[in-house]
Structure 1
Amino acid sequence: MSKSIALSLVLAASLGLAACGSHTENAANNAANAAENASNAADNAMNAAMNAADNAANAASNATNNVANAM
């Protein structure tokens, strides 16, 4: 949800700056790229956290299996 809000704000700012001329068009594109990069970084962080949680769950399962196999 925050990703869509951020992109909406960037698009609104981009349209406002695009009306001012080509120099500001580059600034608008840079702002849009920065927002996209931030969004991608957030997605990557979320994926890393999910992978870490999966790895922890797998480690717990492996430990349980090792105890069961040792009996």
Structure 2
Amino acid sequence: MKTVLQAMAFISLAALTACGGETTGERAADNVENMADNQADMLENAADNASNEMVEANLENAADAVRDAGENKADALEKAGDNATAVNAIENKN
């Protein structure tokens, strides 16, 4: 009886551990958001070094657009969760 209880406890613990990780969509969302942030940071750095205010404003607007697009795509990926077909469709969408 004691062995059966120990086995059941081990199986339950293993099942809980398996459920605790990020979904495919969450991992993809983190990657997309990080890439968008990196691109936006590069645009903002270029804006800081711009030769005039018009170029600086355009680069800052582009950085904001990149961040927004990254967040939107990340949200969609998180909603897709472990649905691999949906994740792939979102990742391949321009």
With the shorter chain as reference, the TM-score category is 0.5 to 0.7
2:33 maps to a residue whose letter is K
Match of 2:17 in 1: none
Match of 2:40 in 1: 10
Deviation at 1:41, TM superposition (A): 1.1
Normalised by the length of structure 2, the TM-score is: 0.43
Match of 1:29 in 2: 60
CA distance in 2, matches of 1:9, 1:39: 10
Deviation at 1:26, TM superposition (A): 1.1
The answer to which structure has the higher helix fraction is: 1
Would you say how many aligned residue pairs link Structure 1 and Structure 2? 52
1:33 maps to a residue whose letter is D
Percent pairwise identity: 18
Structure 1: gaps spanning 5 or more residues: 54-71
CA distance in 2, matches of 1:38, 1:7: 10
Which structure 1 residue ranges, 4+ long, deviate > 4 Å from structure 2?
A: none
Query: CA RMSD for the aligned pairs?
Result: 2.3
Normalised by the length of structure 1, the TM-score is: 0.52
Higher relative contact order (CA 8 A, sep 6+): 2
